[in-house]
Each structure stands twice: as structure tokens, then as C-alpha cells.
């Protein structure tokens, strides 16, 4: 079993414009209180998270309406060690990938978690890769950084395509220690 979540703290990178994580202690055992109690302030995009269709599609499903069975089961970790976007051509070249229901992309992004600022150059998916995923009936796709869209795609076309087709998007995975393969 691998824990592929990122640790949440106030210094972690956030997507441009997203608020950072904040924790304020409101009661402390050290001050004679019966329990430690904290107030947390965070964006829904802090740390490892699922994007619901409602994130970008008016009237789309919210996270509580997603089918949990999509998020549990066999997954394949695919390594992409090149700069630039993951393309349909790359996906087409991987034996048996189309038969997988859940794909997690391990890229050079995993090393970006060590930095304490947003990295403007990261690996995302191209629109043709999103269309390939849709056409193959893949149900969940994850990536190891803050956005599944490639840098500069401010209209978020990959998000929109995947979410409109009920494909669960998981972002901000830490796959740095996980070898490529079936899980």
C-alpha cells in the first residue's frame, strides 16, 4: 500500500490565486485546556483532492454525488519522464493502457513538491490525451501536481473535457516513491 497524498502545511505550493493553508490554535492542552482545538482555513484545492464536475460545469455533480466505486480499485501508475504535455501519441504507445480503468501519471512533477512555490513549468495532459482517455472509457485519471491541464491552458480544456464525461480527476498526488505498474 502506498500513501500518495501530499502533506498539507502552510508552506506548500498552491495553484495561482488559491489561498494557502492556515491553522490557528484556539485551545491548547499546554495552556490548561482539556484538548487541542484548531481552526483550519483552506481551499478545496489544497493537497491531494478530487475535482468534481461542479468545479467547472454549472449544475455538474458535486463531490458528494460522485460514485465512490470509481475511486476504489485497481489502478495503473504510468511514468512520463519527458518535458511538455502528455499526449495521445504517448498513451497509444503503452501496452494495455486502454484496458485500465484508473490511471495515475507519475511525472517530473513529483519532485516539485520539494519546492515551496508554484512551479510555472509542470507536466499536464494535452487535449488529445484527454480525448483518448474519454474514448477508451477510463474512469479516473490522476496527476502528480496542482493541475491536470498543461501550463498556460487557462480555459482548462482538459478539466472540462474529462469532467463533462464523468471522469474523476485526482490532482496533487505524490508518486515520487511509487514505481510504474499495476496496483
> What are the pLDDT digits (tens) for 47-96?
999 999 999 999 999 999 999 999 999 999 999 999 899 999 999 999 99
- Phi–psi pair at 99, nearest 5 degrees: -85, -10
Assigned C-alpha cell, 98: 486502454
Which helix (H) or strand (E) segment holds residue 132: the answer is: helix 127-136
* Mean of per-residue pLDDT scores for the chain: 94
pLDDT of residue 61: 95
Record the pTM.
Answer: 0.91
Give the residue from 159, 136, 135 showing the smallest Cα distance to 147: 159
At residue 136, the pLDDT reads 97
What confidence tier does 114 reach under pLDDT thresholds 50, 70, 90? confident
Q: Spot the catalytic one: 45, 49, 55, 182.
A: 55
> What per-residue confidence (pLDDT) applies to 59?
95
Alpha carbons within 13 A on the beta-carbon side of 128: 8
Active site residue 49: no
Count, residues in the chain: 183
Amino acid at each position: 500500500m502506498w500513501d500518495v497524498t501530499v502533506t498539507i502545511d502552510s508552506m506548500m505550493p498552491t495553484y495561482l490565486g488559491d489561498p494557502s493553508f492556515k491553522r490557528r490554535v484556539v485551545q491548547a492542552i499546554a495552556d490548561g485546556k482539556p484538548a487541542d482545538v484548531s481552526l483550519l482555513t483552506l481551499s478545496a484545492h489544497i493537497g491531494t483532492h478530487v475535482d468534481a464536475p461542479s468545479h467547472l460545469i454549472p449544475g455538474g455533480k458535486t463531490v458528494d454525488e460522485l460514485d465512490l466505486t470509481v475511486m476504489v480499485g485497481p489502478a495503473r501508475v504510468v511514468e512520463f519522464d519527458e518535458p511538455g504535455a502528455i499526449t495521445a501519441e504517448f498513451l497509444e504507445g503503452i501496452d494495455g493502457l486502454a484496458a485500465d480503468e484508473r490511471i495515475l501519471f507519475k511525472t517530473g512533477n513529483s519532485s516539485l513538491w520539494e519546492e515551496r512555490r508554484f512551479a510555472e513549468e509542470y507536466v499536464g495532459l494535452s487535449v488529445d490525451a484527454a480525448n483518448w482517455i474519454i474514448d477508451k472509457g477510463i474512469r479516473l485519471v490522476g496527476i502528480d501536481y496542482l493541475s491536470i491541464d498543461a501550463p498556460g491552458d487557462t480555459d482548462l480544456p482538459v478539466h472540462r473535457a474529462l469532467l463533462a464525461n464523468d471522469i474523476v480527476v485526482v490532482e496533487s498526488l505524490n508518486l515520487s516513491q511509487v514505481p510504474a505498474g499495476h496496483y
